[in-house]
């Protein structure tokens, strides 16, 4: 029963998102541009991921994502 409720809720959510996307209103979560800029600054100073993570308080995944976007 709980599984059915979960699946119904999931389907309704997907329908709502599809509807709003069709209207052009759904954009998802926006990136933190200031943090990305700070990460790039630290990378140009040849800091390690661990040093950047400690200084800026972000995750390694965020740092890797910024690096991947720059390639």
**What does the domain layout of the chain look like in residue ranges?**
1-29, 33-70
Q: What is the DSSP letter of 46?
A: T
pTM greater than the 0.75 cutoff: no
Task: Report percent pLDDT > 90 for the chain.
Answer: 82
Contacts of 67 (CB under 8 A, 6+ apart): 43
The overall average pLDDT reported for the chain is: 93
Predicted pLDDT of residue 29: 87
- By CB atoms closer than 10 A (0-12, 13-18, 19+), residue 56 is middle
- For residue 42, the SS3 value is helix
The stretches of 1-71 forming alpha helices (DSSP H) are 2-23, 33-44, 49-56, 60-70
């Amino acid at each position: 029963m709980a599984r059915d409720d979960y699946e119904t809720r999931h389907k309704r959510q997907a329908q709502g998102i599809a509807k709003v996307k069709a209207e052009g209103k759904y954009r998802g979560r926006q990136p933190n541009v200031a943090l990305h800029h700070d990460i790039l600054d630290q990378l140009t100073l040849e800091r390690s991921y661990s040093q950047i993570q400690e200084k800026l308080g972000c995750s390694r995944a965020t740092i890797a994502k910024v690096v991947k976007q720059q390639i």
